[in-house]
Amino acid sequence: MNEELKIYDFKPLRLTLDRIGPFQDQPYSIDFTDKQLRPCNIFLLVSRNGFGKTTILETMAAMVGLLDKAAPPEFGQEDLDRGRGRAQLDMLVRVYRQGRDQNIVLSILAGALGEEVSFKVWDDQTLQEYGAESWHRLTYRVRVPGLIEKGKTSSELVEDLLATIRFGLGKVPDNFAESAEPLPTLLNFSAYRDIPAVQTNRPLNGNPEPRSIIQPKHWGYRAVHRFSPHGQEWTGSLDNLLVWLKWLSDGRFEKARDLINHHVFRGSEKMLKDVRRDPPEAIIQCGQQSQRLDRLSSGEKSLCHLLLRIGAHMTRNTIVLIDELEAHLHIRWQHALFKALKELAAENLGITVIATTHSSELLHTFVNSLDIKEEGLIKGGDLIEHCPA
């Protein structure tokens, strides 16, 4: 590994899909830059149901997920894994290497063996327009379903970049919502952001196993974290995350508590108060009563799920993907969440938030603000106007 390589920026420029999900008839590209060709840090995807928004987010997660795997068994996207589709994700990456800063375009390419994978070729003129000096490629091809072959990387720089990312695998977060860790990560949130009740395992003797203070499931660094509400095991629960933050005794729990109380419970009688010891779980205080996280409303659970996971697992270079931003949220909370995400992006220059939405209220507000300068924000969006299939 090149010890001198440091990653400063890792931002999406363009995603192109072909024969993936509803994008079967012809390639479809999403440009994540603004009119000045700057990578957006707040971006909305809009369309009717079934037009491919979720497919776009899932494909992005699959592509970035290749970065921390020396020999990936699969892409994690059905059409790519079966060798039917192909995709290209172009990233603007700024690194420090061999004594100088370098701005490059890194294209992550996936497709079937024997097919031309590249859609967009980055020539010198185009690179200059985007403030980059060179184009580098990382190619993965499906030899047969279940067997992915990594192509020869286009440069030693790419090999050094991959080595740096893979060397950091499992590295523990250094803070809550204020990470100094430069490794790039992608946090992918599905539209289903419930907080189910934690299930207690019961061995053969029938006695429940006690919950223990144990490292959370997603704690160590990975290039991609996919957060799903379906796991009810203790290690993957938000209760375990909060208990773990409290156990660390370094101020992270207090930061998480204050974040939730400010963005979720402000103006109400509820508050995230603490964690209890027996059973270990978060305490939500409501007047004189207390309740568990899983007894919150759907909207409250969605907000807690998003804010706690982002705060706990973000790095200085984080792409946040949120499907159906407005899910389960009253219009007031939709705006509150969107405001919180804009603040996150504006205050952390390496954060990129890409979300899908059906909310006409959010869309109207966002479109009207596109040409209004907001400090720290570069805004953009994509409207899929017809079903590609």
Quote the pLDDT of residue 1.
43
**Is residue 376 assigned to a domain?**
yes
Taking the CA atoms of residue 334, residue 337, residue 343 and residue 346 in that order, the dihedral angle to the nearest 10 degrees is -70
Contact 297, 265 (CB under 8 A): no
Residues in the chain: 389
Of 253, 280, 297, which residue constitutes the final position of a domain?
A: 297
Per residue in 342-388, pLDDT (tens digit) is 999 999 999 999 999 888 888 888 887 888 889 999 999 987 776 55
**pLDDT tens track for 22-70:** 998 889 999 999 999 999 999 999 877 777 899 999 999 999 999 998 8
| Overall number of domains in the chain | 2
Whether residues 271 and 372 fall in one domain: no
Shared domain for 320 and 365, answered yes or no, is yes
Please check whether residues 45 and 172 belong to one and the same domain. Answer: yes
Instruction: Spell 192-218 as b/e; 16+ CB within 10 A means b.
Output: ebebeebeeeeeeeeeeeebeeeebbb
| Residues 171 and 279 both lie in one domain | no
| CA–CA gap between residue 48 and residue 52 (Å, rounded) | 9
Average pLDDT, the chain: 89
The alpha carbon dihedral of 30, 34, 38, 39 has a sign of: negative
pLDDT-derived band of residue 136, with 50, 70 and 90 as boundaries? very high
266 and 120 within one domain: no
Residue position matching structure tokens 């007894």: 295
Q: Which of 297, 323, 353 finishes a domain?
A: 297
Domain that holds residue 160: 6-190+302-383
Q: Which of the two residues, 210 and 18, has the higher pLDDT score? A: 18
